Amino acid sequence: MSQSYDRGLVEDFGRWREFSAGMWAWIFHKFTGWVLIGYLFTHIAVLSTATVGTTAYTNTISGLESLLVVRFLEVGLLAVAVFHILNGLRLLFVDLGVGLEAQDKSFYASLVLTGAIVVASVPTFLAGAI
């Protein structure tokens, strides 16, 4: 063997169309996890205005809530959180060795459930904004 060819990692994400359910669940779980960590920081930033005073906090909140884009971001946050929770439950069962044959179905179920909850929440989140 004089030489060999390393096809590298390039193919990995270029082949996303061929990914299976378990792989998608993993990607979504990672992604939503990072989004939640990111949110945590903005959450802390907003909450810390309360250390300045109650009015400062109220002003920040109402200022943010009056922006339409913030309302939409909140819907997105809910979607991310709900998926992360549901898939987390799915992973808990996987860790316990329960229902591993149905791991793809439970992934689809968590997607559908997330969708349903998010759609149901839209009126609450957008009320008063539009």
Partner 1 sequence: MSTQVTEQEQAEAEEESTHQRRRLAEKAERQEVRDRMRERAETDLERADTVFDLKVFRYDPDIPEKEDPRFDTFPVPFTKGMTVLDALMYARDHYDSSLTFRHSCRQAVCGSDALFVNGTQHLGCKTQVVDLGDSEGVPGQIRVEPLPHQEVVKDLVVDMEHFYDQMDAVEPYFDADELPSGELEEQRQTRENREKIKMSARCIWCGACMSSCNIAAGDNEYLGPAAINKAYKFAMDDREGENRKQERLEIIEQEHGVWRCQTQFSCTEVCPKDIPLTEHIQELKREAVKNNLKFW
Nearer to partner 1, 97 or 128 (CB): 97
Residue 107 contacts residue 87 (beta carbons within 8 Å): yes
Shortest distance (Å) from residue 19 CB to partner 1: 9
Count CB-CB contacts under 10 A for residue 86: 19
The residues binding partner 1 (CB under 8 A) are: 1-7, 9, 11-12, 15, 17-18, 20-23, 25-26, 91, 94-97, 100, 103-104
Shortest distance (Å) from residue 107 CB to partner 1: 9
Nearer to partner 1, 106 or 125 (CB): 106
Residue 71 contacts residue 129 (beta carbons within 8 Å): yes
Task: DSSP for 16-49, please give it.
Answer: GGG--HHHHHHHHHHHHHHHHHHHHHHHHHHHGG
Shortest distance (Å) from residue 21 CB to partner 1: 7
Nearer to partner 1, 18 or 69 (CB): 18
Both tokens assigned to 26:
């993993």
Shortest distance (Å) from residue 36 CB to partner 1: 17
Nearer to partner 1, 10 or 130 (CB): 10
Both tokens assigned to 95:
């860790």
Residue 65 contacts residue 120 (beta carbons within 8 Å): no
